Amino acid sequence: MRKSLLAIGAVIATGLAITYIPTIMNAQQETVQEQTPAYAKWGKVAIEQVQSKYPNATIVDYLHVDRETQQDTTTETFKLWLNEGDREFGVFVYITFITATEKVVNIQFEETAK
């Protein structure tokens, strides 16, 4: 009789854990989403575009510079630092998109001294 009570207790405890684990996971996911900056999506696009334009360069660092909204478009500006051989330089990336749909309208690059 005692063994069967222990088995039932384990099933109940497991059931409680299963009930509460999704709640804890949802809270953690919401916290991560709250901590993710709004420009993160566009930072990824900037990095991908720079890697495509400068395939032999290594990205050393990147910085979100600005977000500017005008009428129905928004422009995210990033500065990436690159190494290519013995050359170290910066590249400004300007990503302009339609604010409501997030459809990219234009991506511009501007090289600069470090």
The tens digit of pLDDT for each residue in 26-76 reads 555 555 556 888 899 999 999 999 999 999 999 999 999 999 999 999 999
Domain ranges for the chain, please list them. Answer: 1-36, 40-113
Q: Which CATH class is domain 40-113?
A: alpha beta
* pLDDT at site 15: 45
Distance CA 44, CA 65 (A): 14
Distance CA 80, CA 93 (A): 8
